[in-house]
Amino acid sequence: MKTSAIADANIALVKYWGKRDQTLVLPQNSSISMVTDGLYAHTTVEFDSKYNRDIFSLNGKNIDTKSKGYEEYVGKFLKIVRKLSANKKHVRIQSSNNFPTAAGLASSAAGFAALTAATNKAFALGLNKRELSILARQGSGSACRSIHSGFVEWRRGGKMDGSDSYAEQIADAKYWPEFRMIFCITTKKEKKIKSRAGMAQTVATSAMYKCWLDAIVEDLKNVRQGIIQKSFSLVGKTAEHNCLKMHSLMLTTKPPIIYWNEFTIRIINKIIELRENGLECYFTIDAGPQVKIICLESNIPKIVRKVQEITGIEDIIITKPGQGARIVNKHLF
């Protein structure tokens, strides 16, 4: 009954911001992301009668299973799994990320995708990719995209029960081998406003939200087409503009949500400068201060050298299209 899994984080090229159903975690719009090789969550689960209560630890820290945060995320997820399996045994879960948690780097996406894969195996649920995606979504929306490899689209769906809201692969990890994303870590601190709370606040108060939904279909079409045709300019331009539109929503939320810091702005300006000087690259930023630079492999040395001129960046990580959630033999306990 002890099972371990690894899942890579994913970064959206067309963002998801806002839910139409909080309980089932159904998005207001579809989204497209790249699964990122090398940034992952490693999770071990064990359902056993020797445990008289559920135990959960994250990055070496024990989490109170009676806390509101645990109940809203992991506790809720386990209730769904137990309903699917009819197994009422207590569980021990240990999870670890090899990158900063809750800092705008999709740690919850990787974590819940890994947890989904591990519990599916431990309980012999036999879920297929679509079903795994639906289950992962109910832990953390973007986790549904980390079930797959490469470039992935999470379909909004329209049914009230969420049965048609899941992720599908557009292209696998080997399809576009030159595509890269450079992570510029401006701080490893946890963000003050979690994505889930920020989304709800934006949907309720931003006057620009309808404009966001009206424009999203075109962004999805362009990025999907750009991936299939390997049109770097189309993907990069659309992803950057989509990112700016999402952060415009946050700025017009009441009260405003500002995730960026001074280094975020400096990196954005550097990318614009590089592009003006003939080096094609683009940026995208999730709900946090970290900047991801979209580029081709051949331009990495020049971009990294220029970005390193900015003092204050804590780390630079280079990623390529990564793998989907998978079972591993290495256990954390």
Q: Report the alpha-carbon distance of residue 194 to residue 93 in Å, rounded.
A: 22
For CATH 3.30.230.10, list the domain ranges present in the chain: 2-174
The whole-number average pLDDT for the span 280-288 is: 96
The whole-number average pLDDT for the span 210-234 is: 98
The whole-number average pLDDT for the span 232-260 is: 97
pLDDT tens figures, 147-156? 999 999 999 9
The closest of 145, 144, 126, 148 to 134, measured between CA atoms, is 144
For CATH 3.30.70.890, list the domain ranges present in the chain: 179-319
pTM of structure:
0.95
Residue 104: the pLDDT is 58
Which is it for the CA torsion 237, 243, 244, 245, positive or negative?
A: positive
Residue 86: the pLDDT is 83
Q: Compute the mean pLDDT over every residue in the chain, rounded to the nearest whole number.
A: 95
Structure confidence at residue 87 as a pLDDT band (50, 70, 90): confident
Q: Which of 94-103, 245-254, 293-302 has the lowest mean pLDDT?
A: 94-103
Residue 90 near residue 299 (C-beta atoms within 8 A): no
Residue 206 above 80 pLDDT? yes
The whole-number average pLDDT for the span 196-201 is: 94
Q: Within its chain, how far is the Cα of 115 from the centroid? A: 14
Residue 88: the pLDDT is 84
CATH class of the domain comprising 2-174 = alpha beta
pLDDT tens figures, 23-71? 999 999 999 999 999 999 999 999 999 999 999 999 999 999 999 889 9
Residue 201 above 80 pLDDT? yes
Residue 190: the pLDDT is 87
Residue 166: the pLDDT is 98
The whole-number average pLDDT for the span 165-191 is: 96
The whole-number average pLDDT for the span 300-329 is: 96
Pairing of strands 55-58, 91-97: parallel
The closest of 96, 100, 40 to 63, measured between CA atoms, is 96
Residue 198 above 80 pLDDT? yes
The closest of 24, 61, 7, 12 to 240, measured between CA atoms, is 12
pLDDT tens figures, 294-307? 999 999 999 999 99
Report the interhelical angle of 107-122 vs 76-85 (nearest 10°).
20
Q: Report the alpha-carbon distance of residue 168 to residue 149 in Å, rounded.
A: 10
Between 163 and 1, the higher pLDDT residue: 163
Residue 102 above 70 pLDDT? no
Pairing of strands 315-319, 179-185: antiparallel
Structure confidence at residue 139 as a pLDDT band (50, 70, 90): very high
Neighbours of 246 (CB within 10 A): 23
The token duo for 183 is 């992570």
Architecture of domain 179-319 in this structure: 2-Layer Sandwich (3.30)
